[in-house]
Amino acid sequence: MEVAGANRRWRLQFRYRGSRHESAVAQLSTLAVTAPFMNTEIKQLLTRWQSLEKNGGLQRAGATARLLWIVGLVLCIFVVFAVVYRLHPAFVAVAAAVMGWVIAETNAIRTRLAQWPIFRTYIDWKRVEEDLRG
Protein backbone atom coordinates (compact mmCIF):
# COMPACT_ATOMS: atom_id res chain seq x y z
CA MET A 1 0.00 0.00 0.00
CA GLU A 2 1.50 3.29 -1.09
CA VAL A 3 1.14 6.29 1.17
CA ALA A 4 1.70 9.80 -0.11
CA GLY A 5 3.22 12.84 1.45
CA ALA A 6 4.49 13.22 4.99
CA ASN A 7 2.53 10.17 6.11
CA ARG A 8 4.65 7.75 4.09
CA ARG A 9 7.16 7.61 6.98
CA TRP A 10 4.57 6.40 9.47
CA ARG A 11 3.13 2.90 9.71
CA LEU A 12 -0.10 4.04 11.31
CA GLN A 13 -1.94 6.69 9.43
CA PHE A 14 -2.84 10.05 10.87
CA ARG A 15 -3.72 13.33 9.34
CA TYR A 16 -1.02 15.95 9.50
CA ARG A 17 -2.02 19.53 8.96
CA GLY A 18 0.37 22.25 7.97
CA SER A 19 2.74 23.37 5.30
CA ARG A 20 4.50 20.81 3.14
CA HIS A 21 7.78 22.25 4.40
CA GLU A 22 7.01 21.80 8.10
CA SER A 23 8.26 18.83 10.04
CA ALA A 24 6.04 15.76 10.21
CA VAL A 25 6.79 15.43 13.95
CA ALA A 26 3.75 15.99 16.15
CA GLN A 27 4.09 19.00 18.41
CA LEU A 28 4.28 18.11 22.10
CA SER A 29 1.87 20.88 22.97
CA THR A 30 -0.84 19.08 21.00
CA LEU A 31 -0.40 15.97 23.13
CA ALA A 32 -0.93 17.66 26.51
CA VAL A 33 -4.15 17.84 28.49
CA THR A 34 -5.68 21.23 29.25
CA ALA A 35 -5.09 22.71 32.70
CA PRO A 36 -8.55 22.13 34.28
CA PHE A 37 -8.27 18.40 33.61
CA MET A 38 -4.58 18.06 34.43
CA ASN A 39 -3.76 15.10 36.64
CA THR A 40 -0.83 15.01 39.05
CA GLU A 41 1.35 12.92 36.73
CA ILE A 42 1.18 15.54 33.96
CA LYS A 43 1.76 18.33 36.45
CA GLN A 44 4.86 16.54 37.78
CA LEU A 45 6.19 16.12 34.24
CA LEU A 46 5.65 19.79 33.40
CA THR A 47 7.32 20.80 36.66
CA ARG A 48 10.33 18.60 35.84
CA TRP A 49 10.61 20.16 32.38
CA GLN A 50 10.47 23.60 33.89
CA SER A 51 13.06 22.75 36.56
CA LEU A 52 15.45 21.45 33.88
CA GLU A 53 15.09 24.66 31.93
CA LYS A 54 15.44 27.04 34.89
CA ASN A 55 17.56 27.38 38.04
CA GLY A 56 20.53 25.30 36.88
CA GLY A 57 18.57 22.09 36.51
CA LEU A 58 20.78 20.78 33.71
CA GLN A 59 23.91 21.35 35.79
CA ARG A 60 22.38 19.51 38.75
CA ALA A 61 21.37 16.61 36.51
CA GLY A 62 24.92 16.44 35.12
CA ALA A 63 26.38 16.49 38.62
CA THR A 64 23.97 13.73 39.68
CA ALA A 65 25.03 11.61 36.67
CA ARG A 66 28.71 12.05 37.61
CA LEU A 67 28.02 11.17 41.24
CA LEU A 68 26.07 8.07 40.24
CA TRP A 69 28.92 7.05 37.93
CA ILE A 70 31.40 7.26 40.84
CA VAL A 71 29.04 5.28 43.11
CA GLY A 72 28.70 2.64 40.37
CA LEU A 73 32.49 2.41 40.06
CA VAL A 74 32.90 1.99 43.82
CA LEU A 75 30.22 -0.71 43.85
CA CYS A 76 31.90 -2.49 40.93
CA ILE A 77 35.23 -2.50 42.80
CA PHE A 78 33.45 -3.79 45.91
CA VAL A 79 31.84 -6.63 43.93
CA VAL A 80 35.22 -7.64 42.49
CA PHE A 81 36.83 -7.65 45.95
CA ALA A 82 33.85 -9.51 47.41
CA VAL A 83 34.22 -12.24 44.81
CA VAL A 84 38.02 -12.42 45.12
CA TYR A 85 37.96 -12.56 48.93
CA ARG A 86 34.93 -14.90 48.96
CA LEU A 87 32.65 -12.71 51.02
CA HIS A 88 29.13 -13.91 51.72
CA PRO A 89 27.13 -14.21 48.46
CA ALA A 90 24.44 -11.91 49.87
CA PHE A 91 26.95 -9.01 49.87
CA VAL A 92 27.83 -9.71 46.25
CA ALA A 93 24.18 -10.02 45.21
CA VAL A 94 23.04 -6.83 46.93
CA ALA A 95 26.02 -4.79 45.72
CA ALA A 96 25.59 -6.10 42.17
CA ALA A 97 21.87 -5.32 42.18
CA VAL A 98 22.44 -1.79 43.45
CA MET A 99 25.26 -1.35 40.93
CA GLY A 100 22.88 -2.37 38.11
CA TRP A 101 20.30 0.18 39.24
CA VAL A 102 22.96 2.91 39.53
CA ILE A 103 24.27 2.17 36.03
CA ALA A 104 20.74 2.24 34.60
CA GLU A 105 19.98 5.58 36.28
CA THR A 106 23.28 7.06 35.11
CA ASN A 107 22.57 6.03 31.52
CA ALA A 108 19.01 7.38 31.72
CA ILE A 109 20.19 10.77 32.97
CA ARG A 110 22.94 10.97 30.35
CA THR A 111 20.47 10.12 27.61
CA ARG A 112 18.02 12.78 28.80
CA LEU A 113 20.80 15.36 28.97
CA ALA A 114 21.93 14.53 25.44
CA GLN A 115 18.38 14.71 24.06
CA TRP A 116 17.26 17.79 25.99
CA PRO A 117 18.50 20.46 23.51
CA ILE A 118 16.45 18.84 20.75
CA PHE A 119 13.45 18.04 22.94
CA ARG A 120 13.12 21.52 24.41
CA THR A 121 12.66 23.12 20.99
CA TYR A 122 9.31 21.31 20.66
CA ILE A 123 7.93 22.36 24.04
CA ASP A 124 5.43 25.18 24.08
CA TRP A 125 6.87 27.00 27.11
CA LYS A 126 4.05 29.55 27.31
CA ARG A 127 1.51 26.75 27.60
CA VAL A 128 3.60 24.95 30.23
CA GLU A 129 3.69 28.16 32.31
CA GLU A 130 -0.06 28.68 31.91
CA ASP A 131 -0.90 25.07 32.80
CA LEU A 132 1.24 25.14 35.92
CA ARG A 133 -0.31 28.43 37.04
CA GLY A 134 -3.85 27.21 36.37
pLDDT tens-digit series, residues 72-129: 999 999 999 999 999 999 999 999 999 999 999 999 999 989 999 998 888 888 888 8
Q: What per-residue confidence (pLDDT) applies to 27?
A: 53
Q: How many residues does the chain have?
A: 134
DSSP string, 42-76: HHHHHHHHHHHHSTTHHHHHHHHHHHHHHHHHHHH
Query: The whole model's pTM is what?
Result: 0.62
| 23 lies in some domain | no
CB 25 within 8 A of CB 6: no
- Please, what is the Cα angle at 62 between 61 and 67, to 5 degrees? 95
CA distance 59 to 44: 20
Q: 129: domain range?
A: 31-133
| 94 lies in some domain | yes
| 129 lies in some domain | yes
| 36 lies in some domain | yes
Q: Is 124 helix (H, G, I), strand (E, B) or coil?
A: coil
State how many domains the chain has.
1
> Which comes out higher in pLDDT, residue 14 or 105?
105
| 93 lies in some domain | yes
| 6 lies in some domain | no
pLDDT tens-digit series, residues 90-100: 999 999 999 99
